[in-house]
Amino acid sequence: MSVNQTITVKRLAADILKVGENRVRIKPDEFSRAMDALTREDVRGLIDEGVLYALPYVGPRTKPRRERKGRGRRRGTKYSRKGAKEGWMEKVRSQRKYLTELLESGDMTPKFKREIYLKIKGGVFKGKNALRIYLVDNGMLKEGAASATSVVRSAAPAKKEAKPAAAKQQKAAPAGAGKPLKKAEQKKEKK
């Protein structure tokens, strides 16, 4: 039961199991039986009995590595990183896909399809959420779909409240105060 015998048994087992020697394990209570093995046939028998076994493959990190896209990592201008055309295509395709989903699910009547499709093509909507809000505001969605979609609007941050009325009311300035005079008016004043 020397160290060399342990190394030999593990080497043979690793070769048979087609794994590295570091992954081969011997059951502690069956250690003496493993040390008595002299040939490949003996080692195969021990593997079949479960005295020698290989640890499962662990592999590299299972958690995906976070992409580092922060400001300090960026090299190049906005459109050298992602072209304007690619951004446009992503935006338009997502809006068209959403429109198709609404039509297939029956949440929107087909009579509005052409109008909305052309607005998407014309770049009227900044994104899919803007399209959704437009459809709700203009009553183009059916009742059930409109209530489900209005949740999106409530989740969006509310706009800042209007300034107090006192701040809005400014002192009435005389007409034309502060405006530069036109050349014709300047000549009249000189005379």
CATH number at residue 40: 1.10.1650.10
State yes or no: pLDDT of 137 exceeds 60. Answer: yes
CATH assignment of the domain containing 132 = 1.10.1200.60
Instruction: Confirm whether 179 is domain-assigned.
Output: no
Looking up tokens 């662990």 gives 58
Q: Give pLDDT, residue 161.
A: 57
Is there a domain that residue 177 lies in? Answer: no
**149 shares a domain with 98:** yes
Q: Do 94 and 50 sit in the same domain of this protein?
A: no
In this structure, is the dihedral angle defined by the CA atoms of residues 36, 37, 42 and 48, taken in order, positive or negative?
positive
| H or E segment and range at residue 184 | helix 183-190
Give the chain's domain count.
Answer: 2
Residues 105 and 149 grouped into a single domain: yes
Q: What percent of the chain has pLDDT over 70?
A: 74
User: Residue 113: its pLDDT value, please?
Assistant: 95
* Distance separating alpha carbons of residues 81 and 74, to the nearest angstrom: 8
Residues 73 and 92: their CA atoms lie apart, in Å, by 28
Find the mean pLDDT for residues 29-34.
88
**What's the mean pLDDT in 88-101?**
96
User: Of 54, 70, 92, which marks where a domain is finished?
Assistant: 54
Total-model pTM = 0.45
pLDDT of the residue at 184: 67
For residues 49 and 90, membership in a common domain is answered with no
In 14-165, the DSSP E strands lie at 24-26, 52-54
Tell whether 166 is covered by a domain: no
151-165 average pLDDT score: 54
For residue 170, pLDDT beyond 60? no
pLDDT at 158 over 60: no
Mean pLDDT across the chain: 83
Residue 10 within any structural domain of the chain: yes
Range of the domain at 94: 83-155
Contact 129, 162 (CB under 8 A): no
Do 33 and 97 sit in the same domain of this protein? Answer: no
CA distance from start to end of the chain: 123
